[in-house]
Amino acid sequence: MRQVIRGWIIGVRRATGGRIYKSGARANTTATLAAYIADHAARLDHTAPRWVPDAMTDAIRLLLFPAMMAFAASSDLLTMTISNRLSVALVGGFFVMALVTGLPGMAIVSHLGAALIVLAVTFVLFARGWIGGGDAKLAAATALWLGFDQLLNYFVYASLFGGILTIAVIKFRLVPLPALLAQQEWAQRLHRSDAGVPYGIALAVAALCVYPDTPWMKSLGM
């Protein structure tokens, strides 16, 4: 706090030419001081909290979302399920990211709106039996991170990868299991004709394709 106050005093002195206490300059000094503080506050409003090191913020941007997407894909492949805890972790991770990066309130509301719309659409798909409940929640939690800006691209990629994945799984089930996979429980499960398609893989890969174009990553210059 001392450093912040000292920085403000030095900044005001520079802005006023050191005339803070000179006679006849109090009105101009007050106006200059108010303008300086307002400008400084506006800058702080768009930056990460000072108690969060820049290296930690960058690490969260780079690792948190991709790691959870990788976990979702591997979980769906190996168990044909996506845990509710993963969706909750994605939601919690978004708010952590919003806090450490200083995301404005209106932007948070916009991201929440994107997530709710996706949740409504995927719930209809789930009710029709086209996707699993875990897929629906994963898509909504992912949309919370991506927001409206990348939502269309996300669904285009998800549809493309979902189609490729479906064709690959159908072909996989038409041939006998290789000896290397015959004793693997996850492979046996995936090979069954009555099993579904682990669409979470397509959702996760689509999210990873879009994520570099989000403001989270663009702020790193990537």
- pLDDT tens column, 122-173: 999 999 888 889 999 999 999 999 999 999 999 999 999 999 999 999 999 9
H helix or E strand, kind and range, residue 79: helix 54-79
Q: Model-level pTM? A: 0.73
| Chain center to CA of 214 | 8
Span 191-215, average pLDDT: 93
Span 188-209, average pLDDT: 93
Residue 77: pLDDT over 90: yes
**How far from 162 is each of 79, 129, 130, 218, CA to CA, in Å?**
18, 15, 12, 27
Which residue, 133, 118, 138, is CA-closest to 202?
138
What CA–CA distance (Å, rounded) separates 78 from 73?
9
What CA–CA distance (Å, rounded) separates 86 from 13?
52
Residue 25: pLDDT over 60: no
Q: Which pLDDT score is estimated for 1?
A: 42
Residue 100: pLDDT over 90: no
- pLDDT tens column, 85-95: 999 999 999 99
Least confident of 45-49, 56-60, 136-140, 197-201: 45-49
Residue 2: pLDDT over 60: no
